[in-house]
Structure 1
């Protein structure tokens, strides 16, 4: 009986390590594509249609990266469920649900980016002023959609961070950073509805713990894997 039990624990530990590596690889895709399309691409584009048209290839690459990010982000919480789902089923289901909700929001939001791309390709066929006005409107709609998606990018971190803290399968400091980051995202979204908050120091640094926690979790899973000293501690 003891031998069968030990073999079962070995199999569970092996599965956890494998699932952790898969989750880490998916997280790496999310992190890299997110940095590219949400940070680097906007920094390369001008503030008007003419400036963006000069970098239309970069604009296209940003759209492709965003699509890839959404696919990876759809799979990531499912992979994390396999790593943490046995710790607390309700929290794990909430983690998956909150992350998954953001994907259709992000894809609908991306449609405005595609509208903007079509406008860039039509420069020269219409008066520049009308193209630029429509381009700015498309980007504004894109920004509004991202504002909503950001709420769920934060909410999923709350059950995720709690599961990391409770399980100990990743360093607990990462769980704390994920929790603080989730709160930061929510604060940034609701605070953004208040006048002047968007330009405050609190808004600028609210999501820093999330960045540290998510990049840290990604690297830990890839480099060290899941801690399996204690495995499958079922909890309702």
Structure 2
């Protein structure tokens, strides 16, 4: 296994960790706590399920860590393909991490307010969860922006299926456009969700490819063996 394959598999491992923590925190735990349109129920859930709420914050923080590591390792993987695009993956990925960081702060503050009320805890907790939710909604801009240079690097490298590269780029554009659809068109939640499907397929394909295959056969070795002249010529 050469250096590039090891880098690819470490990138895939961090990417998988990011996906797992994001899914568990945002799609599994959050719906059990936050009730849209019912602040009293949200506050009651936080008080009753304090451990679950704290687990949600821990998962959000874990997502931040794995997102940052994924961004850094994608730069390491693709820097020889196109340094500008690789830097874009890292930069946009780190912005994603900041989005998650702010969201985690909101959730942690909501837990603190539910345990030690300040002012109107019912309204405060609901607002904090709404801000966190909208951080993720607006954050889709950068969730998409980091997929576009990622797909471009896949296409330029020749190490991975070209279809994967195009899927990542199309999914990235869809992600970038989705917040505009969500906030400009009322009752467009279904379309907003649908626009994320290509990106989700591309990301899970990328994770699987990095972990199972690493890089394709066309990828260069990290340190190719030296070429020595024939003995007769050397003499």
Q: TM-score, normalised by structure 2?
A: 0.84
Q: 1:110 Cα deviation (Å)?
A: 2.0
Conserved in 2, the CA contact under 8 Å of 1:70 and 1:106? yes
Q: 1:218 Cα deviation (Å)?
A: 0.8
In 2 relative to 1, CA 110–126 (structure 1 residues): closer, same or farther, beyond 3 Å?
Answer: closer
**1:223 maps to which of 192, 207, 212:** 212
Which residue of structure 2 aligns with residue 3 of structure 1? none
Q: 1:183 Cα deviation (Å)?
A: 1.0
Which residue of structure 2 aligns with residue 22 of structure 1? 10
SS at 1:193 equivalent: helix
SS at 2:215 equivalent: coil
Conserved in 2, the CA contact under 8 Å of 1:191 and 1:197? no
Structure 1 gap ranges (5+): 1-12
Give yes or no for the alignment of 1:170 onto 2:160. yes
1:5-16 mapped onto 2 (5 Å cutoff):
14-16=2-4
Q: CA deviation digits over 1:133-165, x for unaligned, max 9?
A: 111111122123223322111101000011112
**1:34 maps to which of 11, 17, 22:** 22
Which residue of structure 1 aligns with residue 202 of structure 2? 213
**1:154 maps to which of 138, 144, 151:** 144
**Cα distance in 2 for residues equivalent to 1:74 and 1:81:** 11
Give yes or no for the alignment of 1:68 onto 2:99. no
Root mean square deviation, CA, Å: 1.9
Structure 2 gap ranges (5+): 36-41, 222-235
Which residue of structure 1 aligns with residue 39 of structure 2? none
Q: How many residues align?
A: 215
Q: 1:226 Cα deviation (Å)?
A: 1.1
Which residue of structure 1 aligns with residue 109 of structure 2? 115
**Cα distance in 1 for residues equivalent to 2:217 and 2:87:** 22
Q: Which has the larger radius of gyration?
A: 2
1:120-131 mapped onto 2 (5 Å cutoff):
120-122=114-116, 130-131=120-121
SS at 2:138 equivalent: helix
**Cα distance in 2 for residues equivalent to 1:126 and 1:66:** 24
1:73-152 mapped onto 2 (5 Å cutoff):
73-122=67-116, 130-152=120-142
Which residue of structure 1 aligns with residue 232 of structure 2? none
SS at 1:87 equivalent: coil
1:175-194 mapped onto 2 (5 Å cutoff):
175-194=165-184
**Cα distance in 2 for residues equivalent to 1:77 and 1:169:** 19
Q: TM-score, normalised by structure 1?
A: 0.84
Q: 1:197 Cα deviation (Å)?
A: 5.2
SS at 1:108 equivalent: helix
**Cα distance in 2 for residues equivalent to 1:225 and 1:161:** 16
Q: CA deviation digits over 1:174-226, x for unaligned, max 9?
A: 22221121111111112222131533x32121011111111111111111211
